Structure 1
Amino acid sequence: MNDKDPIASSAEAAAKSHPPLMQVATQDLAVLKRKDNDMSNQEGASDMTKEQMLSKINQLSDEIDANEEENRTMQEQINQLYARIDSMPDAATE
């Protein structure tokens, strides 16, 4: 049986064909895994009030929004670079 994480395996394969994009994605995945571990640790803290939980939800939502904007900006840069590569003469890419 293969114990390797299927998401990590897919990311590894995709990284070979799109290194810059996949580097960002794997970094984001690592951050999400750390946050998931942090949340698991916090779930045991039953002393959080409803207000604290709602505040945490708002904080995480804001973080998601900021990350999505950053990802859109990076994807735009990637698209521009691919467009520049596509517009190059074939001899320049060899």
Structure 2
Amino acid sequence: MLRDTTPRTTSGGLSRATLTRRFTSTIGEPPLCYLRRRRMELAARRLRESDDPLTAIAKRIGYTSEFAFSRAFSRTFGIPPSHYRTASRQDRRHNQESNSPTHD
């Protein structure tokens, strides 16, 4: 059986390894870590700012299942997405109450 030993290149002509090294030195983290972090940041924002169901948020950021999204989110933030949403809303309410002017 013959193995394909042709170096893999990106559409820009760079090898994957070279692209990964350049990306990491420029951005400060490997491409897949960056993508995972950005997805979770987007999901966290959607959880704070919308009433979208978890399934919709999962699909919007590229997960095919709510379960996979929930596990990834929990690994990133230390709590499930539903708890994150509840806690962020409680924090927002508390901040709104403490910033509202009092009338004596």
TM-score by length of 2: 0.30
Higher helix proportion: 1
TM-score by length of 1: 0.32
Report which of the two structures shows the higher radius of gyration computed on alpha carbons.
2
Structure with greater contact order relative to length (CA < 8 Å, sep ≥ 6): 1
